[in-house]
Amino acid sequence: MRPILVAAALAAASAVLAPAATGQDPPPAEAPQDPAREALRKELADEVASPVGFRLVETDPLFVLTQVHDRRFLDELSSRIALLQAVIERDFPLGVDEGEAPPPPVVVRLYGSQETYVAAGGPEASSNFVDADGKRFLIFDQRAGGRRDFWRTFAGLQFKAHWVRAVGMPWPHGWMLHGHEDYYGGYELHSGRLVRKPNPWRQGTARQLARQGTTIPFNEFLRWRGREYYGGDIQWGVGETYAQGWSFVWFLRTLPGSRNKPEGWQASWELILDRYLAGMRTTHDKSVAVDAALSGVDLPALEAAWRESLD
């Protein structure tokens, strides 16, 4: 632990604490006009005019170069981006001072098929791709099942884009990054509103881990970096780590305002996510960020309460 850096991160956290998520959606913000957006349009003009078949869809946080031109789909895409961005920014404020220009949009390339996505550099066994520098965002259209899987995948990609804009690099710990990808991927669109729901990709596995008593100990899990989190541990695979990461984020985001908090709920748990965010913004060091997030936290009690919530 680095006490001076952690103290600085904790001090920063007190200035940027975001209100706990309530599940109610704030209204989407209007897209601002600024020179950075105009410069990005010009930068992308050649791709829009190329035979690849891209069309540019502009939203506030994203410029989507899409090979899918269906008007109804694009209208829904724009609507979902705006609605989800309002939720994400409530949870992870951009941190832009009054009068300061917002960070430029992130460019997402949406391919019409898996084949064109792979040809552009997307891994074959993936549904989306972001490079290690947080600069190339690729995804392809998934039409099977009424695009339900696509919307969940796109929501996770949108969170990654927001992290790059709001915090920068490096990526945070796996539970923070992928747990939030799956958390936002669980939101469903009903009658023009986003409704928070558990992500069905992860909920069943998380409950199974709890029933079997095979959850990953928090003192290891919350500090795991790439190799362990992505299935490098001989005991747990990537499905288990992603499920546990999602369930921990769900626990921290949904229970503070709930009447169903586990017995012995501690107020310090409600500061974990905001302290982590402040630590990353202050130091860009994920070890310092997790130290700040867990400072003063009774980790065994937290882990026991989280397991109880899975029952």
CA dist 279 and 247 (Å) reads 22
In sequence order, the 6+-apart residues with CB closer than 8 A to the CB of 7 are none
Q: Check residue 234 and give its pLDDT.
A: 62
pLDDT of residue 146: 83
Task: Find out whether the peptide bond into 51 is cis, omega within 30 degrees of 0.
Answer: no
Give Cα 8 to chain centroid, integer Å. 25
- Provide the β-strand partners of residue 138: 109, 129
Q: Are 285 and 188 in contact (CB under 8 A)?
A: no
Confidence (pTM): 0.88
DSSP state of 147: G
Question: Which domains does the chain show, CATH number per domain?
Answer: 1-20+172-311 (no CATH), 21-169 (3.40.30)
Q: What is residue 9's predicted lDDT score, i.e. its pLDDT?
A: 57
| Other Cβ atoms closer than 10 A to 1 | 11
Contact 164, 157 (CB under 8 A): no
**So what's the pLDDT on residue 204?**
96
The H helix count followed by the E strand count for the chain is 13, 7
Closest-CA residue to 277 (of 5, 13, 88, 14):
13
Q: Which two tokens stand for residue 78?
A: 């724009």
Strands (E), 80-220: 106-111, 128-130, 137-140, 188-190, 193-195
Query: What's residue 10's pLDDT?
Result: 62
User: If the chain, 311 residues long, is cut into consecutive pieces of 10 residues, what is the mean pLDDT of each piece?
Assistant: 59 49 49 78 93 94 96 97 97 90 94 96 95 96 88 98 96 97 97 96 95 94 88 78 97 90 91 97 97 97 94 79
Q: Distances in Å between the alpha carbon of 6 and those of 146, 204, 253, 289, 295? A: 46, 36, 23, 7, 8
Closest CA to 249 of 196, 211, 287: 196
